[in-house]
Amino acid sequence: MTRVSASGAVHAHAGRSGELWAGYLTQFHAHHPGITERVLTSAWRHDVGTPYAWLRSALPASPGHVLDIACGSAPLRSLLEGAKTYLGIDRSHEELALARELGRGPVALADATCLPIEDSSVDVVICSMAIMLLDPIDVALAEVARVLRPGGTLATIRPVAWPVVPSDLMRGLTVVSGLRHLPEMPQRFGRSRFARMLAEAGLTVTADEGLRFGYPLEEPEHARLAVEALYLPHVKAPRRERAIARLARAARPGAQLPVSIRRTIAVRAA
Ligand SMILES: C[S@@+](CC[C@H](N)C(=O)[O-])C[C@H]1O[C@@H](n2cnc3c(N)ncnc32)[C@H](O)[C@@H]1O
């Protein structure tokens, strides 16, 4: 299926698979608001802290007008006190309700593919752990480019498979053998494809780096959260429980699961 934007450009539409994912994500975040934040605030690296702190560190101390797309529970809000203004948008009522309950905001219900924001009015767009969910991605990136001022910055982090360390592979296998399925994402793209998509939207990559963060696997509850945070549209509850039970057996002081993240920064041409 295709659709034609106001500018006349023809965009690929993910069709039935896109609709299935949209429904799954709506349900997932309605039942688990704040789950990404619970995982990422426990994931840590000695040199940069949490993935959120790493994303924040790519931006100036006073980043100007900031738009946080697919903000979820808005975990980045407190790291952006130096911003002139902050607005978080998400399409999950439940995630936004949690953000408000935690005193974060302002936040608004909106879809990243149709931003309720004026052209060239934002200095920084951030997108944490969500760029691979936005569909159609070319429409969402065109929206980012539209709302950014010339010279403005897009800063993203997204989950990736690498880097990992050897002990991660065994724990990964434990999870996958319990699930009998690989975790899924609506879209996957490597660094060069992402750079090409950004370029097509008028955004130039200025920095791109992957890091492995360690998520503690010290108690059975850590195993439960790690598995429950995965998108598993094709895995039924008994298999999830089996993966949790197998992973929980590996819980011990000092044990970790990998949270591998890629940070990509891009700038709109001045
Ligand atoms: C993995 S969570 C990340 C939340 C938050 N940014 C964080 O890092 O904790 C993904 C979020 O993307 C939101 N989302 C997915 N597709 C969206 C879209 N097209 N427009 C707005 N939000 C979207 C979901 O509702 C969910 O809150």
Helix (H, G, I), strand (E, B), or coil: what is residue 46?
coil
Q: Is the CB of 158 under 6 A from ligand 1?
A: no
Q: How far does residue 252's CA lie from ligand 1's centre (Å)?
A: 32
Ligand 1, pocket-test mutation among 41, 73, 90, most atoms within 8 A of CB: 90
Give dist(CA 115, CA 140) in Å, integer: 9
| Predicted pLDDT of residue 14 | 52
- Residue 31 to residue 83: CA distance in whole angstroms: 31
User: What is the distance between the alpha carbons of residues 61 and 57, in angstroms, rounded to a whole number?
Assistant: 8
- Write the CB contacts of 65 (distance below 8 Å, at least 6 apart in sequence): 83, 84, 85, 121, 122, 123, 124
User: What is the number of other CB atoms lying within 10 angstroms of the CB of residue 266?
Assistant: 26
pLDDT 10s per residue in the chain (270 long)?
333 333 333 334 457 788 899 999 999 999 999 999 999 999 999 999 999 999 999 999 999 999 999 999 999 999 999 999 999 999 999 999 999 999 999 999 999 999 999 999 999 999 999 999 999 999 999 999 999 999 999 999 999 998 888 888 988 999 999 999 998 999 999 999 999 999 999 999 999 999 999 999 999 999 999 999 999 999 999 999 999 999 999 999 999 999 999 999 999 998
HEC string of 170-193 equals HHHHHHHHHHCCCCCCCCCCCHHH
The atom of ligand 1 lying closest to the CA of 71 is 6
What pLDDT sits at residue 177? 92
Task: Report which ligand 1 atom has the smallest distance to the Cα of 40.
Answer: 9
Whole-angstrom Cα distance, residue 182 to residue 194?
Answer: 22
- What does DSSP assign to residue 119? T
What's the gap between Cα 4 and its chain centre? 27
* Structural domains of the chain in order of their starting residue, each with its CATH number: 6-162+186-214+258-268 (3.40.50.150)
Ligand 1 pocket member 156 (CB < 6 A): no
Residue 56 per-residue DSSP state: H
Rounded CA-CA distance 88/52 in Å is: 15
User: Distance between CA atoms of 17 and 217, rounded to whole angstroms?
Assistant: 33
CA of 250 relative to ligand 1 center, distance in Å: 30
Give the containing element (helix H, strand E) for 38.
helix 35-40
**What is the structure's pLDDT at 136?**
95
d(CA 78, CA 155): 17
CA distance 13 to 4: 10
Cβ distance 41 to 79 under 8 Å? no
Q: Rounded to an integer, what distance in angstroms lies between the CA atom of residue 145 and that of residue 104?
A: 25
What is the rounded distance in angstroms from the CA atom of residue 204 to the CA atom of residue 210? Answer: 18
pLDDT at 2: 33
Taking the CA of residue 68 as reference, the ligand 1 atom at the shortest distance is 6
